[in-house]
Amino acid sequence: MPTDTLLIAGVGDIHGRFHRVEEWMDVLGKARGRPVDMVLAVGDVEAFRRADDQRRKMTKRLMPAEFAEYADGQRRMKRPMYFIGGNNEDFEALHDTPDGMELAPQVYYLGRAGIQTLRGLRVAYLSGIHAPRFFDQPLKRPRALDTAKQAGYFRAPEVERVMHVRDVDILLVHEWPRGIVQRARDENVPTTRALPSYWIGNPITRRLADTLRPKWMLCGHSHKGFAVSLGGEGGRPVTRIACLDQATRPDEAVFWLEFEEREPVRGGWGLSGEVAWHTGASWNLQALPLVGPPPSSSHHEDEEEDREMG
């Protein structure tokens, strides 16, 4: 295995399960014959600094408060993890650092929106999900559960901040771009998978994908693995999209990529190290792992409510 490549791992909604993600990265590194250089998490990490904070601020369900061990120095990440915000975070702690911060050694919040160069890669990002009713409203300081919820919605100025960047290697968003399920249906690629509803995702992140034309786009939120490509018509650059499952099992919650300088050369799902894509190969539903038994929970119960569609 070449040692001059960069190995990055995208991880779906962690929901407080930091210990298992660390273990997964060790396994993946052994399978690829080299350490994972960095982890990119697509939101809903729930990095609560104290277990009491986690219990007090959670908006939905009680999840592990494992990040507290990293915040107080009991544990330390072996490789850097960079994350964006989802719609379930410790928004009180993140509010005053919209441009990002180091929450614990080797654990970095990227911020609400922007672009950074990480290990030589240009990584653009937009935290949160789309709620049309809040899109043009100012962001309020999250002081209670009701104001914490609105902090998980991105705003128009944040979108504009990202909309003008170019030359993007990876775009991180929390919520899927609208229309990618229909794109997969139109491709008519043979699959045994039941496709999600066509309305899943939002038009804002789709506009970002179409405008920025990143090489790769990673997303989470809907707790499903998905693979589709956008672009390619008339010589237009191709954007390959990998949607990640939540971190209950690694098969579709982890997606890794290897880069030679800034060029992605191969990638795959899970921890086996098996290559599912390489330079010149197509990227569609057939790149997903074989379907196993369903996880115990695959959706946010109030996903439709979170989109404020009504």
Give 225-260 pLDDT, tens digit per residue: 999 999 988 888 999 999 999 999 999 999 999 999
- φ, ψ of residue 101 to 5 degrees: the values are -170, 165
DSSP 3-state assignment of 137?
coil
Task: Answer for the pair 256, 36: CB distance below 8 angstroms, yes or no.
Answer: yes
The structure tokens listed for 175 are: 């919520």
User: Can you give the pLDDT at residue 3?
Assistant: 54
DSSP 3-state assignment of 278?
strand
Distance between CA 191 and CA 288 in Å, rounded?
10
Task: Answer for the pair 217, 195: CB distance below 8 angstroms, yes or no.
Answer: no
The pTM of this model reads: 0.91
Backbone Cα Rg of the chain: 18
Task: Answer for the pair 213, 234: CB distance below 8 angstroms, yes or no.
Answer: no
User: Can you give the pLDDT at residue 44?
Assistant: 96
Distance between CA 116 and CA 304 in Å, rounded?
31
The structure tokens listed for 45 are: 């990490």
Distance between CA 212 and CA 227 in Å, rounded?
19
pLDDT < 70 stretches in the chain: 1-3, 51-62, 292-310
Task: Answer for the pair 174, 44: CB distance below 8 angstroms, yes or no.
Answer: yes
Extended strands (E) in the chain: 6-11, 38-41, 81-83, 101-104, 107-109, 113-118, 121-126, 170-173, 216-219, 226-231, 238-243, 254-260, 263-269, 277-278
Backbone φ/ψ region at 100: left (φ over 0), alpha (ψ -120 to 50), beta: left
Task: Answer for the pair 181, 196: CB distance below 8 angstroms, yes or no.
Answer: yes
User: Can you give the pLDDT at residue 60?
Assistant: 52
Helices (H) and strands (E) in the chain, counts: 10, 14
Extended strands (E) in 90-180: 101-104, 107-109, 113-118, 121-126, 170-173
User: Can you give the pLDDT at residue 292?
Assistant: 56
User: Can you give the pLDDT at residue 305?
Assistant: 34
